[in-house]
Structure 1
């Protein structure tokens, strides 16, 4: 799936599920054949957990990989969940796959981030040997910081009680790397300010370790307009973007000899194209959702009428209209889903777009359903076993002149819970619809003036296969041949 970023740069969405944790990403191809990759990590307030994704990096010539920090519903600094650092391995696995697919090396990569994204850029850059690291206002003692400042994130990363031993481990991951002189040739660009309330505890005590790096660059901003942590990056965005532009052009400001014009317009893109296709967030193996009600161009009431369907293999169905998100409908264990809008539909035609989502976040192709919402439709009456005499539906005694009713639900062969069986359909020229099994009348319902009917089959259904005959009738004593539906009933869990 792709989307347009600012200034028309095409952004491709994907998800790498090869590791222990699915990693969601966005990717933009380089301009002019540039042979560089910028990897962007998110700060804690980044929209949708993607950092610097509002078009501010759009003028960079490099390939750009944005990585989402959302794992099991929370932020993780791209490192750990409940003290388990499996997330780190999944994240570095994605980065290394993209680097390989582009035919690049670690020297051709810049890791970029601010706040917790800066911590991630510094950590992954030092530990895994990437050449360029741009870290704005990072936290270097992560464990103490999340415990004290963001306890919700701390509990997500360290466990509900945030045990002290895990806090110490997380505090040491960056400082130990610096103390060991990991990746000594890295070009490190760190941004901070004395006006940053985190500077005294998170940066200043470790400047000595950073200054041992020969290519360490410290951007220390003392602007009086900086009033706190969040303002440091904002005030330093132009020089940060300037550094990024130099790096992706192969120019490292501290070096006496620089490399410029690092481009290969005719480079083979087959590797990255194959990777993006294989990890696309939209996959054909996940079936798109089926909508069983309404049928295409079916008239619906503006209120109270649900959308129903099936989406086997999915955990939820995402529902949209005109590009706006409406809701997510959970999918039951048998693949059934239903959703009823809380507020009325506007009168007129609606086209709703749906897609299925599995447990890893993979999406299906899209399904569109078009219907007309009206405030002039009379709803079908509720079930009423006495609404029509039994002889109405006796096709041996009645004159068979009507067409068989059209069945919408259940679907043939569908598996249904014994407590949630509903018959829906349409039958023109009829006033009632009856339901028989093995010659016994199960119940009946009336038909609305627009021909629609429904019957909630609230009765004791034994588990197994059932074949039900559905007969339409009118008050003149005319009946239709039966329409037959066979489906399976499965017991409710625990019964």
Structure 2
């Protein structure tokens, strides 16, 4: 096992028949929870949700790589030999037991192929929380149609009988009521081309589950299978943090999305314009120094004129620099409390009147010389 400076560990568990590669990040703040992440097919390096989005979770996080002898496997089998599945669950058990946790303190998480894995392992092995994002229920049929190379690895001989075994792996678990007390969160979308075949027919099987939640994401911003999870990342991050804190939400069957990108915004635009703090009739401040393109010392002094203003406000690259007062005759001057760094600068200045209205801005571009530069002759 190796560890990076960030605390992310990588290793290989060889305690069962198949070596299983993993990544592990320990919990912070003493949290007693384990999130197990299964990968989708297009996951980088065969690790799902490994783009940094889970890096700040307070839970222990175990990413499991789905790469066995160079092929994906849905974490299930090679040539219909399900000892591969046993090796995966052995890794989870070893990590869980080493942390002193139970299946009630675990969340299984995954999208697409990983969603199928989270359902299968969560139902079969009694884990408390299962998050399955756009999973495939008919694994054998899907592989035959979309990923024949993975199908050959998993089935050896791609026969109707083997396809049926994989197709029934998840539905049979649900139909039998396996792990009926689990908190299950299933995400899909009408814009997912897989939904009518791979998800919709199996929803009735979850009747009788104590906390089955189906999130139907009906959004014009979803254009296909791979977009469903991306559209829902903010909601999903809220969900995983609830589960980590031991608060499993009860959502039932809900619909989200339904954005209206073509909504008429003329009324709100008119309101914002009418109540804007910027008054076009309030003149932008004049800046006398530094003048555009001037080369100045780091301790530059700004001067100018802002009739009708009580103060001016100076900003650079979105950072507030200062707000000097304006004299009764409209003149103002200001020197930044710290010398400016050498190089090109663009300072944006606007005026503010006694009522709090702001003027349009004035931009001044100049260059600060290096204080230690050799003199010019």
TM-score class, shorter = 0.5 to 0.7
1:164 matched to 2:160? The reply is yes
Question: Displacement, 1:18?
Answer: 1.1
Aligned to 1:77, the other structure's residue is in SS state coil
**For 1:393-416, what per-residue CA distance to the aligned partner results, in whole angstroms no more than 9, with x for missing partners?**
xxxxxxxxxxxxxxxxxxxxxxxx
Residue 23 of structure 1 corresponds to 20
Equivalent positions of 1:271-286 (< 5 A) are none
Which residue does the alignment assign to 1:361? none
- Residues in 1 aligned to 2:209 and 2:229: alpha-carbon distance in whole angstroms: 23
2:186 is aligned with 1:187: no
Q: Does 1:113 align with 2:110?
A: yes
2:29 to 28, 32, 38: 32
8 Å contact from structure 1 (residues 135, 190) kept in 2:
yes
What are the within-5 Å matches in structure 2 for residues 321-400 of structure 1?
none
CA deviation after TM superposition for structure 1 residue 114, in Å: 0.1
CA distance in 2, matches of 1:57, 1:154: 30
Indicate the residue corresponding to 2:232 in structure 1: 236
Partner of 1:249: 245
Identify the residue that residue 10 of structure 1 maps to in structure 2.
7
Q: How is 1:32-181 mapped onto 2 (pairs within 5 angstroms)?
A: 32-159=29-156, 161-181=157-177
Hey, what's the Cα distance between the residues in 2 that align with 1:182 and 1:65? 24
Cα separation, 1, equivalents of 2:215 and 2:22 = 29
Superposition deviation, residue 3 in structure 1: 5.0
* Secondary structure, counterpart of 1:207 in structure 2: helix
Whole-angstrom CA distance in 1 between matches of 2:203 and 2:210: 13
Q: Is the 8 A contact 1:2 1:10 kept in 2?
A: no
In structure 1, C-alpha distance between the alignment counterparts of 2:234 and 2:25, rounded to whole Å:
21
How large is the RMSD of aligned CA atoms in angstroms? 1.2
Query: 4+ runs of 1 displaced by more than 3 Å?
Result: 1-4
Asked whether the 8 Å contact 1:44–1:115 carries over to 2, the reply is yes
CA deviations over 1:383-432 (Å, ceiling 9, x no partner): xxxxxxxxxxxxxxxxxxxxxxxxxxxxxxxxxxxxxxxxxxxxxxxxxx
Mark the runs of 5 or more structure 1 residues left unpaired by the alignment.
256-495
Between the aligned partners of 2:10 and 2:166, the Cα distance in structure 1 is 30
Paired with 1:218 and 1:150, the residues of 2 have a C-alpha distance of: 27
TM value normalised by structure 1:
0.50
Quote how far apart the aligned CAs of 1:83 are.
Answer: 1.1
| Structure-1 separation of matches of 2:2 and 2:248 | 32
Cα drift, residue 214 of structure 1: 2.0
Instruction: State the alpha-carbon separation in 2 of the partners of residues 9 and 50 from structure 1.
Output: 17
Q: Deviations over 1:13-67 (max 9, x none)?
A: 1111111101110100001110000000000000110111111111211000000
Deviations along 1:276-299, one digit per CA (max 9) or x if unpaired, are: xxxxxxxxxxxxxxxxxxxxxxxx
Secondary structure at the counterpart of residue 221 of structure 1: strand
TM-score, L = length of structure 2: 0.65
- Are the aligned partners of 1:193 and 1:220 in contact in 2 as well (CA < 8 Å)? yes
Look up the SS of the partner of 2:247 in the other structure.
Answer: coil
2:203 equivalent to 1:203: no
Alpha carbons 1:9, 1:58 under 8 Å: kept:
no
Measured against aligned partners, the alpha-carbon deviations of 1:220-276 in whole angstroms (never above 9, x if no partner) come to 100001000000000011111110000001111129xxxxxxxxxxxxxxxxxxxxx
Instruction: Please give the per-residue CA displacement for 1:68-110, whole angstroms capped at 9, x wherever unaligned.
Output: 0001110000001111111100000110111111001110000
Q: Which consecutive residues of structure 2, in runs of 5 or more, have no partner in the other structure?
A: 252-377
- The answer for the alignment partner of 2:218 in structure 1 is 222
SS of 2:127's equivalent in the other structure is coil
Note if contact 1:37-1:65 (Cα within 8 Å) is conserved in structure 2: yes
Structure 2 contact 2–11 (Cα < 8 Å) conserved: no
1:100 counterpart SS class: helix
